[in-house]
Amino acid sequence: MANYPLHCLNKDGTLLNAQKSYYSDEYAERMCNLHLRDEVHKDDRGNMHKYFRLHAHNPHTIEMALQYEIHCPECNQGILKQVGRCLNFNELGLYVCPVCDKHRTHR
Ligand SMILES: [Zn+2]
């Protein structure tokens, strides 16, 4: 499992670029305001799908969490799509990359 610190690309701080790191999850949590962690889940047909969970250092409301547009750290083309709700104020939505996920399903 990897984590991906997020960097703002615009001045509103809503457009985010993710970069793979070799930090421990604990370090990423302390050092980054926002980071993604990957999770792999199997669907009903046994296909593996990669998801990203958004983690925030500062507490976020659902509305705050929804404003982000995050570039996929794997392909840098896709914009991550939210597929799961926020768990709490720090563990936010679950995301999937439509571009990467499409390649994976058709393989
Ligand atoms: Zn992607």
pTM, rounded to two decimals? 0.88
Query: Count of domains in the chain?
Result: 1
- Per-residue pLDDT averaged across 66-72, rounded? 95
Task: Specify the pLDDT at position 101.
Answer: 86
Task: Convert the pLDDT of each residue in 27-40 to its tens digit.
Answer: 888 888 999 999 99
Judge whether 91 and 55 are in contact, CB under 8 Å. Answer: yes
| Confidence band of 107 (pLDDT split at 50, 70, 90) | very low
Going from the Cα of 103 to the center of ligand 1, the distance in angstroms, rounded, reads 9
Answer yes or no: is 107 within a domain: no
Q: Is 82 strand, coil or helix?
A: strand
Answer yes or no: is 61 within a domain: yes
Going from the Cα of 79 to the center of ligand 1, the distance in angstroms, rounded, reads 7
Q: Alpha carbon 22 to chain centroid distance?
A: 16
Q: In 3D, which of 10, 2, 16 has the Cα closest to residue 65?
A: 16
Could you identify the residue written with the tokens 């995050």?
70
Going from the Cα of 98 to the center of ligand 1, the distance in angstroms, rounded, reads 7
- In which domain, by residue range, is 20 found? 1-46+57-68
Task: Specify the pLDDT at position 73.
Answer: 93
| Averaged confidence pLDDT in the chain | 91
Answer yes or no: is 106 within a domain: no
Answer yes or no: is 5 within a domain: yes
Q: Is 49 strand, coil or helix?
A: strand
Count CB atoms within 10 A of the CB of residue 14.
14
Going from the Cα of 80 to the center of ligand 1, the distance in angstroms, rounded, reads 7
Going from the Cα of 64 to the center of ligand 1, the distance in angstroms, rounded, reads 23
Answer yes or no: is 27 within a domain: yes
